[in-house]
Structure 1
Amino acid sequence: MHKISVQELLAEYTQGQRDFCEVDLSEANLFECNLQDINLQGSDLRQAYLPYANFSRANLQQATLQGAQLGNIRLISANLVEADLVNANLSRADLCGCNLAGANLSGADLQGADLRYSNLSEANLTGANLGGANLERATFTRANLSQCNLFRAQSVNVDDAIWDDTTIFPDGYRRT
């Protein structure tokens, strides 16, 4: 994995380059950047600053985004399969149609996020906050929702998910 500067990334992207697999962009400031269709598979974006960026249709499979600031980001139809999003801030993020199968979202802030039609099968959402999130037709097959907050989340169907008495459901109650 090699370190790449934000300036280098943006210059190459502007020239039509989309393949940036396994690059180190840790702590990069990509505020409001438009990087649709970019391929960052296996890349390191730990602690990156990406609010209001547009990563629609991006390939972030197996990317590391631990502690990244992703508030209000657009990740429409993005591939985040097996991505590491531990403690990431995804508040108000647009994740409509996103593939998050097997992703680690433990401790992530997804308050008010749009997860309509997203695939969260086998995702780890332990301790994640999905308060007020739109979960219409989102798939949670075998997703871990222990200690997860779903208070005031919309259109929730977690029948196939793994939850326990620490899971807070949309009505504010815990089930046993």
Structure 2
Amino acid sequence: MREVLRGLLTAAALVWPANVAMSADDVETFLSGTVKACVECDLSGRDLHEQDLKRSKLDRAKLHGADLSNASLFRASLVRADLSGAKLPGANLNLVDAKWADLTKAVLAGTLLYEADLSGANLSDADLRGAYLGRSKLNQANLTGANLRSADLRAARLAGATLTGADLRGARLDKQNLRGMDLQGINFAMADMVETDFTGADLRGATLAGVNLFGANFHGADLRGANLEGANLTNAILSEAQTEGAKFEAAIMPDGRRSEPEKQQKNQNSAGR
């Protein structure tokens, strides 16, 4: 009998939190720092700037439009949380777990996101200028139209991520794995992409002007119409790459020589015959 009662109590404990909404008093208790959990609570539009929320459990919380600038969310859990339109500039989100979170149009300029788990998160149109995303997980993340200018993405995982229309000017993507990715039309101007792997990637119409591509691998990549003017391609691999219409003016080619416009035009004319 005791075992049956224990089983019923355990089941009730598991089900109860999921079915009961956080009251206003519970939310205020959380904000006072007395408790660390506020699952599914509504904090939309709240002024939480500089708030200490490290290691908090905010899964499925509503934080739409909240001001979290310079707040600490170190190691916080934000799985499936709604942070659309939230303001997080200068916030500490290192090691945060934000899988499948909605960060549409969120302001994350200068935010710390080292080893953050953003797998499957929606970051479309988010402002990530100068954000530190080193070793972060962005697998299957939606970065459509995101502003990643000067962001640090070294060692970040981008497999399956959508980057359509993203702005990656000046971003740090050294040794990044971009194999087979759709990178059409993306602006990478002046980025650092040393030894980046573009094998089989679609870079049609992409801007790679002034990019440091030392040792980059473009094997089988589609570079048709891409702009690589002034890029550093020293030791880069271009085997089986499609380069029709690509611009290489003033670029340093794999053999270390600087491309000359006249020679490039002759080579393209010859290739077109």
- With normalisation by structure 2, the TM-score equals 0.58
Q: Give the equivalent residue in structure 1 for 2:195.
A: 132
Residue of structure 1 equivalent to 2:140: 77
For 2:94, the equivalent position in structure 1 comes to: 31
Does residue 59 (structure 1) correspond to residue 122 (structure 2)? The answer is yes
Larger RCO (CA under 8 A, 6+ residues apart): 1
Aligned partner of 2:229 in structure 1 is 165
* 1:40-59 pair list within 5 angstroms: 40-59=103-122
Once the two structures are superposed, what CA deviation does each residue of 1:15-64 show, in whole Å capped at 9, x if it has no partner? 86432211111111111112111110111000000111111111100000
Distance across 1 between alignment mates of 2:81 and 2:121:
9
| 1:91 to 2:154 alignment | yes
- Residues 190, 210 of structure 2: 8 Å contact kept: yes
- Which amino acid counterpart does residue 189 of structure 2 have in structure 1? T
Change (3 A) 1:78 1:17: closer
Give yes or no for contact 1:73–1:93 (8 Å, CA) kept in 2: yes
What is the CA RMSD across the aligned residues, in angstroms?
Answer: 2.4
Is residue 103–residue 122 contact of structure 2 (8 Å, CA) maintained in 1? yes
Equivalent position of 1:153 in the other structure: 216
Instruction: Name the count of aligned residue pairs.
Output: 176
Contact 2:202 2:223 in 1 (8 A): no
CA offset at residue 146 of structure 1?
0.7
Match of 2:83 in 1: 20
Q: Note the alpha carbon deviations across 1:73-105, whole angstroms, 9 max, x for none.
A: 111111111110111111111111211111111
The 1:158–1:146 alpha-carbon spacing in structure 2 relative to 1, beyond 3 Å, is farther
Match of residue 7, structure 1, among 35, 45, 53: 53
Unpaired stretches in structure 2, ≥5 consecutive residues? 1-43, 60-76, 237-251, 254-258, 261-273
Find the structure with the greater CA-based Rg: 2
Which amino acid in 2 is paired with 1:171? N
- Relative distance call for 1:63 and 1:128 in structure 2 (3 A) is same
Residues 125 and 9 of structure 1: CA distance in aligned 2, closer, same or farther (over 3 Å): farther
Structure 1, unmatched stretches of 5+, are none
